[in-house]
Structure 1
Amino acid sequence: LNDICYVNNFSDPDYPIALSFKAGEGRQFKKEVNYIINSLRKAIPKIFTGDDYKDKKNRIISDYSNRQKKILAKFEKKMTESGFVMMQLQTSDGTIRTDLQPIIDEEPASLEKLEHLVREGKFSKERLEEIEGRRNQLRREMEQIGSESKKLAAKLEAVLEELDYSFISPLISDKFDVLKKKYTEKRVVEYLESAKQALLNDLDRFKEARPRRGEEDPPPFRKKEPFEEFAVNLLLDNSETKKVPVIIENSPSYRNLFGTLERVVDRFGYWRTDFSRIKSGSLLRASGGFLVINALDLFTESGVWQPLKRALTTGKLEIAGYDPFYMMAGSALQPEPIPINIKVVLIGNRRIYHTLWHYEEDFKKIFKIKAEFDHVMELNDKSLRAYVSFIRKITDNEPLPPFDAGALEEIATYGCRLAGRKDRLSTQFTNIADIIREAGFCAIDKKRKTVTKNDVRFAIRQKTERVNLTETKIQEMYDNNTFLINTSGKKVGQINGLAVYGNGEYSFGRPTRITVRTSVGRAGIVNIEREADLSGPIHNKGVLVLTGYLRGKFAQKKPLVMSASICFEQSYTGVDGDSASSTEIYAILSSLAHIPIKQGFAVTGSVNQYGEIQPIGGVNEKIEGFFEVCKSKRLTGKQGVLIPVQNVDDLQLKPKVIKAVADGKFHIYPIKTIDEGIEILTGVPAGKELPRGGFTKNSVFDRVDKALDKMAKQIKASAKEDESNENSKSKN
Structure 2
Amino acid sequence: MSLLVLPPEKLRRTIDPASLKIKSSQELEAEDVILLPGQPRACKSLEFGLRIELPGYNIVVTGVPGTGRHTLVKSVAKKWAAEKKNPGDWCYVYNFEKPFNPLYLKLKPGEGKVLAQSMETFIENAKSNLRSAFESEEYQAQKDALEQELREKQQREIERLQQMAAERSLSLMRTPQGLVFVPLKEGKALTPEEFESLPAEEREVFEQHLEEMQKEAQRFFQKIPRWQQEVREKIKQLNQEVAKFTLKHLLDELKEKFAQNKQVLAYLEKVEADMVKNIALFFLEEQKKAALQEEMPVPLKSEESKNSSFFRRYLVNVLVDNSHLSHAPVIYEDNPSLGNLVGKIEHIQQMGFLVTDFHLLKPGALHKANGGVLILDLEQLLLNPGSFEALKRCLKSAQIRIENLAEKFSLISTVSLEPEPIPLEVKIILIAPPYLFYLLKMYDPDFIKLFKIIADFDESLPFDAENINYYLKLIASIIKKNNLLPFKAEAIAKVMEYALRVVEDKKKISAEIRKVSDLVSESSFLAKSKNKEEVEKADVLEAIEFREFRVNRYQEKVLEAILRDIIFIETEGEAIGQINGLSVISLGDFSFGRPSKITANVRLGEGEVVDIEREVKLGGPIHSKGVMILSSFLGARYAKTNPLSLKATLVFEQSYSGVEGDSASAAELLALLSAIAEVPLKQGLAITGSVDQKGRIQPIGGVNEKIEGFFTLCKKRGFTGDQGVVIPKANVKHLMLKEEVVEAVKEGKFKVYAIESIDEAIELFTGLPAGESIEREGFARGSFNALVQEKLEFFAQRRKELARQLQGKEGDGKED
Structure 2, unmatched stretches of 5+, are 1-86
Tell me what 2:269 maps to.
193
Q: 1:390 and 1:141, CA in 2 relative to 1: closer, same or farther beyond 3 A?
A: same
Counterpart of 2:269 in structure 1: which amino acid? E
Equivalent residue for 1:157, pick from 235, 241, 245: 235
Q: 1:40 and 1:443, CA in 2 relative to 1: closer, same or farther beyond 3 A?
A: farther
Counterpart of 1:116 in structure 2: which amino acid? E
SS at match of 1:636: coil
Counterpart of 2:750 in structure 1: which amino acid? F
Structure 1, unmatched stretches of 5+, are 92-96
Q: 1:685 and 1:158, CA in 2 relative to 1: closer, same or farther beyond 3 A?
A: closer
Q: 1:363 and 1:570, CA in 2 relative to 1: closer, same or farther beyond 3 A?
A: closer
Equivalent residue for 1:211, pick from 282, 290, 315: 290
SS at match of 2:732: helix
Counterpart of 2:586 in structure 1: which amino acid? G
SS at match of 1:507: strand
CA distance in 2, matches of 1:138, 1:730: 141
SS at match of 1:211: helix
Mapping of 1:129-140 within 5 angstroms? 139=217
SS at match of 2:274: helix
1:660 to partner: Cα distance = 1.6
1:646 to partner: Cα distance = 0.7
1:619 to partner: Cα distance = 0.8
Cα deviations by residue, 1:429-461 (Å, 9 ceiling, x for unpaired): 555555455445444544556555444443443
Counterpart of 1:478 in structure 2: which amino acid? I
**Aligned residues: CA RMSD:** 4.5
Counterpart of 2:370 in structure 1: which amino acid? S
Tell me what 2:718 maps to.
634
Contact kept in structure 2, 1:558 and 1:709, CA below 8 Å: yes
Tell me what 2:554 maps to.
470
Q: 1:57 and 1:86, CA in 2 relative to 1: closer, same or farther beyond 3 A?
A: farther
Q: 1:10 and 1:568, CA in 2 relative to 1: closer, same or farther beyond 3 A?
A: closer
Mapping of 1:246-265 within 5 angstroms? 246-265=330-349
CA distance in 2, matches of 1:356, 1:677: 45
Contact kept in structure 1, 2:698 and 2:730, CA below 8 Å: yes
Counterpart of 2:108 in structure 1: which amino acid? K
Mapping of 1:514-663 within 5 angstroms? 514-516=598-600, 523=607, 525=609, 527=611, 529=613, 534-555=618-639, 566-590=650-674, 596-663=680-747
Tell me what 2:370 maps to.
287
Q: 1:511 and 1:254, CA in 2 relative to 1: closer, same or farther beyond 3 A?
A: closer
Counterpart of 2:359 in structure 1: which amino acid? S
CA distance in 2, matches of 1:174, 1:354: 59
CA distance in 2, matches of 1:567, 1:203: 93
Contact kept in structure 2, 1:501 and 1:509, CA below 8 Å: yes
Q: 1:645 and 1:172, CA in 2 relative to 1: closer, same or farther beyond 3 A?
A: same
SS at match of 1:539: helix
SS at match of 1:484: coil
SS at match of 1:661: helix
1:532 to partner: Cα distance = 5.8
Say if 2:574 is the partner of 1:496. Answer: no
Say if 2:193 is the partner of 1:116. Answer: yes
Bigger RCO (CA 8 Å, 6+ sep): 2
Say if 2:99 is the partner of 1:33. Answer: no
1:249 to partner: Cα distance = 3.7
Q: 1:443 and 1:43, CA in 2 relative to 1: closer, same or farther beyond 3 A?
A: farther
Q: 1:399 and 1:40, CA in 2 relative to 1: closer, same or farther beyond 3 A?
A: farther
Equivalent residue for 1:21, pick from 76, 83, 107: 107
CA distance in 1, matches of 2:240, 2:643: 120
Cα deviations by residue, 1:121-149 (Å, 9 ceiling, x for unpaired): 69985996799599769958976996897
Say if 2:220 is the partner of 1:178. Answer: no
Contact kept in structure 2, 1:45 and 1:206, CA below 8 Å: no
Q: 1:372 and 1:587, CA in 2 relative to 1: closer, same or farther beyond 3 A?
A: same
Q: 1:58 and 1:40, CA in 2 relative to 1: closer, same or farther beyond 3 A?
A: closer
The range that moved more, 430-439 or 535-544, is: 430-439
The range that moved more, 663-672 or 156-165, is: 156-165
The range that moved more, 678-687 or 553-562, is: 553-562
TM-score of the superposition, structure 1-length normalised?
A: 0.82
Q: 1:336 and 1:571, CA in 2 relative to 1: closer, same or farther beyond 3 A?
A: closer
Counterpart of 1:216 in structure 2: which amino acid? P
Tell me what 2:567 maps to.
483
Contact kept in structure 1, 2:150 and 2:231, CA below 8 Å: no
Tell me what 1:312 maps to.
395
Counterpart of 1:474 in structure 2: which amino acid? V
1:5 to partner: Cα distance = 1.0
Equivalent residue for 2:361, pick from 238, 258, 278: 278
Q: 1:185 and 1:465, CA in 2 relative to 1: closer, same or farther beyond 3 A?
A: same
Identity of aligned residues (%): 33
Contact kept in structure 1, 2:697 and 2:755, CA below 8 Å: yes
Q: 1:610 and 1:440, CA in 2 relative to 1: closer, same or farther beyond 3 A?
A: same
Contact kept in structure 2, 1:542 and 1:578, CA below 8 Å: yes
Tell me what 1:664 maps to.
748
Contact kept in structure 1, 2:707 and 2:725, CA below 8 Å: yes
Contact kept in structure 2, 1:487 and 1:600, CA below 8 Å: yes
1:410 to partner: Cα distance = 3.7
Contact kept in structure 2, 1:255 and 1:281, CA below 8 Å: yes
Tell me what 2:499 maps to.
415
Contact kept in structure 1, 2:244 and 2:276, CA below 8 Å: no
1:622 to partner: Cα distance = 0.9
CA distance in 1, matches of 2:374, 2:359: 25
CA distance in 1, matches of 2:766, 2:325: 72
1:484 to partner: Cα distance = 3.4
CA distance in 2, matches of 1:466, 1:76: 106
Mapping of 1:697-708 within 5 angstroms? 698-704=782-788
Counterpart of 1:18 in structure 2: which amino acid? Y
CA distance in 2, matches of 1:497, 1:72: 117
